[in-house]
Amino acid sequence: MSELFPPDHPAPDPELRLRLQLSLVPGIGPRLQRRLLECFGSSERVLSASLAELEQVDGIGAKLARQIQAARDPAEAEQEWQRCCERDVSLLAHGQPGYPRNLESVDDSPLLLYARGTVLPQDDLAVAIVGSRRCTVYGTQQAEKLARVLATAGITIISGLARGIDAAAHQGALAAGGRTIAVSATGVLNIYPPEHRELAERITASGAIVSESKLEQHPSAGLFPQRNRIISGMSLGVIIIEANRASGALHTARHAMQQGREVMAVPGHIDSLASEGCHDLIRDGATLIRHADDVLECLGPLVRPIRTPQMAEVRSVRELTLNDQERAVLNLLTTEPRAVDEVLRSSALESSRVLATLTVLELRRLVRRLPGGMVMRVPW
């Protein structure tokens, strides 16, 4: 089947091509795709199965079985792949290099993700900021400020490219020269809302627009709540700003709770209807956020180290607030005890500055002093 892919647009590897074919079957979402792969073992066997075999899979009726068989024709997938090549859109497959590591742990994560721009390993260090489309000036200011400060610290900002809080969050990250990723409910080549096309181009240059929908997917009501699980899934935590009790942002908060992500909320005025949902979240245990330091404190130690351009390896989000001198001294230490005299000899800094920096790092709970003049990096 690969010969259908034109020479100027090389075919994807066989498994990616077959997964693309399967993902284009109408009505087959991530859960059903997983169920099919569990039953048949591979995309190739799914697409070659008989109608009777397909109908034995829970959730697959006669109509879906016929649609899966119709997908054996690779013409639609070939056209979709050609468009990806023409518009510099990448296909990120679950379980393969390049797929967001945070999202891999989510039960109903997409098996295939379209990405326009770049998704980097450092984007695992990400926070989502979402909220009302009809926000107040206060909400816009808080979203932009939080995103700007967090992006300056090296955290990638995830949001949904919607009007209001989402747009302010993306713009705050861009203003800081940081990275931001927009999770689109529509296809990455069909920007919604249309007035955000210029913003989308800026995001693509400083991060990525990602979607589980095919390239030209048009807006559909059901796609927006569905994409919220991806916003929370790509993040270490979710910040809700100005959500009333009917806000779709609360769906993102619920997904975050189910996925084991941190849920944070910015309070509004006590009588503000626009922030009632946020106040309910705080009452029920979400972390109250006043400024970026509250976010860093809430996220705490990471499940696994993440590499960033600023630091060789980040074990705790608090490390992002360090200056160059503090990073340099911290990077001289490991979780194995080391003599302070040896640390002093290893550093190009004056001994007095190293000792003062070790004290600062100890106060920040990043370094631990031990008896006998030993020191170590705090293990997480």
pLDDT tens, 303-319?
Answer: 565 666 655 566 667 67
**For residue 313, what pLDDT is reported?**
64
CA of residue 270 relative to chain centroid, distance: 31
Mean pLDDT of 179-193: 96
This prediction's pTM: 0.80
Mean pLDDT of 49-56: 91
**For residue 303, what pLDDT is reported?**
52
Mean pLDDT of 231-253: 95
Mean pLDDT of the chain: 89
The tokens for 96 are 């393969």
The residues facing 208 across adjacent strands are: 117, 181
Who has greater pLDDT, 184 or 299?
Answer: 184
**For residue 226, what pLDDT is reported?**
92
Q: Is the pLDDT of residue 107 over 90?
A: no
Note the residue count of the chain: 380
Residue with the two structure tokens 């010969």: 3
Q: Is the pLDDT of residue 301 over 80?
A: no
**For residue 316, what pLDDT is reported?**
67
Q: Is the pLDDT of residue 209 over 80?
A: yes
The tokens for 76 are 């639609």
Q: Crossing angle of helices 276-283/249-258, nearest 10°?
A: 20
DSSP strands (E only) in the chain? 89-93, 112-117, 126-131, 156-159, 180-183, 207-211, 237-241, 262-266, 287-288, 301-306, 314-316, 338-339, 367-370, 374-377
Q: In Å, what is the CA distance from 90 to each residue of 6, 191, 192? A: 17, 17, 20
**For residue 7, what pLDDT is reported?**
44
Answer whether 158's CB lies under 8 Å from 234's CB.
yes
Query: How many alpha carbons fall within 13 Å on the CB side of residue 86?
Result: 10
**For residue 252, what pLDDT is reported?**
96
Who has greater pLDDT, 41 or 231?
Answer: 231
**For residue 380, what pLDDT is reported?**
62
* H or E stretch at 296: helix 292-299
Q: How far apart are CA 274 and CA 375, in angstroms?
A: 49
14-29 pLDDT per residue, tens: 778 888 998 898 888 8
Q: Which residues contact 52 (CB under 8 A, 6 or more apart)?
A: none
Q: Which of 182-196, 267-281, 362-376 has the lowest mean pLDDT?
A: 362-376
Mean pLDDT of 250-271: 95
Q: Is the pLDDT of residue 261 over 50?
A: yes
Report the share of the chain in percent with pLDDT over 90.
63
Q: How far apart are CA 180 and CA 171, in angstroms?
A: 9
**For residue 9, what pLDDT is reported?**
53
Answer whether 224's CB lies under 8 Å from 247's CB.
no
Residue 27: left (phi > 0), alpha (psi -120 to 50), or beta?
Answer: left
The residues facing 181 across adjacent strands are: 158, 208
CATH numbers and ranges of domains, the chain: 2-86 (1.10.150.20), 117-299 (3.40.50.450), 322-377 (1.10.10.10)
**For residue 221, what pLDDT is reported?**
85
Residue with the two structure tokens 């030993």: 374
